[in-house]
Amino acid sequence: MLSDDVNRYISLRRVLGYKLVKVERSLRAFAFFAIGRGDTHIRAASVLAWLETVACTPGARARRLTDLILFARFLHAEDSHHEIPQADATRSQQKRPVPYIYTPDEIARILDTAGKVRRHKSDLLRRPLYVMLFGLIAAAGLRVSEALTLRFDDIQPGGVLHIRETKFRKSRLVPLHATVIAVLEHYLRLRRRCAGESEWLFPSIQDKQLCPTTVNYAFRSVLRRAGIAPERSRQPRVHDLRHTFATRVLEQCGVERGTVARHFVALSTYLGHSDIRNTYWYLEATPQMMADIAAAAEMLVGESVA
């Protein structure tokens, strides 16, 4: 049965460190659909028919197709009766969206505006919570999900964050700058007075884990009030604070190859990337980086002439 095949496939890949929460839901939905059509093996026609029933963006549909292709290859290695769907011809034309790189002034405006968000009279923590949350993501390059799952016990002595089992079930230690530690300590004192019963560093009004949807809504509201990129059709995201952190760090590499290599390895580890190639994507075309690239090119030309 295809449903049993999904169980085997997901279990095996989780042993390798993958979480696959969304992938599991997607594959189970396809298996239910295919079984309803009387399929005992993966059929390319059933894959295409199922994708037509899925209400999502073209990018999400392409990701679901990729997941099904990997699943089909896994089963085809055992039983050649399983068909491997062809990759969508339009998928290769889709590009990963370029993140919005905030300026230092824009980040300051975000934090200033977050400190003025509307709150209930009894909710004294809401303003400092969002200032600390957005500031921590910007200053440490955390994923939003990593920040929201932080507990008090995850704050180690010396201002080191213990990020537990994030992508690929990896944990890591994230040291904070002294200025961030000072702000965090001030927030912790207020946090203990206002929501002492909750274990979460950034609790909801009900003292539960703060929902990402709530955070995204609050961030969009802050951007609108701060007047940041109002002309853009695609509004900047809170996750772009992480991209900004990585990009600004790489800007400090300069043009010396050894320095660049050390920065890349350190940054990849700090961000929790499983592959350093994921860090290369942060080489955004900021003016500073373009200047460094030009300087490096001039040095290279000069060496060849000499």
Distance, CA of 16 to CA of 44 (rounded, Å): 27
Domain housing 100? 96-306
Domain end: 48, 78, 93, which one? 93
- Could you say which of 242, 243, 248, 270 is catalytic? 242
CA angle, 281 as apex, 277 and 284 as ends, to 5°?
150
Please tell me the predicted confidence (pLDDT) of residue 122.
64
Beta bridge partners of 160: 156, 175
Is residue 82 a contact partner of residue 202, using CB atoms and an 8 Å limit? no
Respond yes or no: is residue 151 known to be catalytic: no
Please tell me the predicted confidence (pLDDT) of residue 297.
46
What is the C-alpha end-to-end distance of the chain, expressed in Å?
Answer: 69
Tell whether 112 and 240 lie within a shared domain: yes
Tell whether 295 and 233 lie within a shared domain: yes
Tell whether 32 and 48 lie within a shared domain: yes
Record the pTM: 0.65
Tell whether 139 and 276 lie within a shared domain: yes
Please tell me the predicted confidence (pLDDT) of residue 95.
60
Please tell me the predicted confidence (pLDDT) of residue 249.
78
Based on the structure, what is the number of domains in the chain?
2
Tell whether 217 and 280 lie within a shared domain: yes
Tell whether 135 and 250 lie within a shared domain: yes
Please tell me the predicted confidence (pLDDT) of residue 54.
82
Pick from 161, 111, 100: which is nearest to 134 by CA? Answer: 111
Tell whether 88 and 101 lie within a shared domain: no
- Could you say which of 119, 167, 237, 263 is catalytic? 167
Domain end: 93, 125, 154, which one? 93
Domain end: 75, 93, 111, which one? 93
Look at the block and give the residue holding tokens 């969206």.
97
How many Cβ atoms sit within 10 Å of the Cβ of residue 215?
21
> Looking at this protein, which amino acid is placed at residue 281?
W
Respond yes or no: is residue 282 known to be catalytic: yes
Report residue 303 as tokens.
Answer: 């060496």
Respond yes or no: is residue 239 known to be catalytic: yes
Tell whether 208 and 300 lie within a shared domain: yes
Respond yes or no: is residue 19 known to be catalytic: no
pLDDT in tens, the chain (306 residues): 899 999 999 998 888 777 788 899 999 999 999 999 999 999 999 999 999 888 677 778 888 898 999 999 999 999 999 999 987 644 544 566 678 889 999 999 999 999 988 776 667 788 999 999 999 999 998 989 899 999 989 999 988 999 886 665 678 888 999 999 999 999 999 888 876 678 899 998 888 889 999 999 999 999 999 999 988 888 899 999 998 888 887 777 655 555 555 666 666 666 776 655 666 565 554 555 555 555 554 554 455 445
Tell whether 6 and 48 lie within a shared domain: yes
Respond yes or no: is residue 242 known to be catalytic: yes
- Give the CATH number of the domain where residue 169 resides: 1.10.443.10
Tell whether 27 and 144 lie within a shared domain: no
How many Cβ atoms sit within 10 Å of the Cβ of residue 263?
17
Q: What is the largest CA-CA distance in the chain?
A: 72
- Could you say which of 19, 126, 143, 172 is catalytic? 143
Tell whether 114 and 236 lie within a shared domain: yes
Tell whether 140 and 248 lie within a shared domain: yes
Please tell me the predicted confidence (pLDDT) of residue 42.
95
